[in-house]
Amino acid sequence: MKKKLARLRAEFESFRQLMDERDASAKASINAALAAINSAGDKTEVALREYKVTANEWRGTLNDVITRTMTRADWEREHRVVEEKIQDLREYRSGSLAATETLRAIHAGQRWLVGFSVATLLSAAGLVIHLFVK
């Protein structure tokens, strides 16, 4: 019986050693897994922070585009104003050209009248000189 008991103790001790080794191996595996999880969590936080920065920059860019871009209604209103100004300029120019032609005609008539008056005065002066000289 002592032999059986010694053999059982030996088996029990070897089983205990095997279990201790497995426990140590399991603890090391668990610690490695926890370290990997912490590292992955840190990397995820960094990536999330970078994503948020990029998303905020994109949001800011879109906000700038929205606030600085003219709406269609505003563009149509401003375009209509510009078209009206162009039409006014066209009408002014066509009226200005007509007025310029009228002024040219008046000046031509005035020059003719001045020329006729000068010729009449010279003729009258010539007649007076002719009458008094004889």
pLDDT tens-digit series, residues 8-66: 888 888 888 988 888 888 898 889 888 888 888 888 899 899 998 888 898 888 888 88
pLDDT band for 134, please (50, 70, 90 cuts): low
Cβ pair 44, 51 in contact under 8 A: no
The token pair at 129 is: 């000189």
Q: Assess if residue 23 is contained within a domain.
A: yes
Is 5 a member of any domain? yes
User: What are φ and ψ of residue 119, in 5° steps?
Assistant: -65, -40
Q: Which residues contact 70 (CB under 8 A, 6 or more apart)?
A: 78
94 in a structural domain: no
Does 53 fall in a domain?
A: yes
CA–CA dist 89, 83 (Å, integer)? 10
Domain of residue 16 covers 1-69
99 domain residue, yes or no: no
pTM, entire model: 0.37
C-alpha distances (whole Å) from 68 to each of 41, 61, 80 are 40, 11, 20
- pLDDT value at position 127? 86
In a domain, 90, yes or no: no
Domain assignment present for residue 129? The answer is no
Looking at the 3D structure of the chain, how many domains does it have? 1
Q: What is the tens place of the pLDDT at every residue in 64-121? A: 888 888 888 988 999 999 999 988 888 777 777 777 777 788 888 888 888 888 999 9
132: in domain = no
Mean pLDDT of 127-134: 81
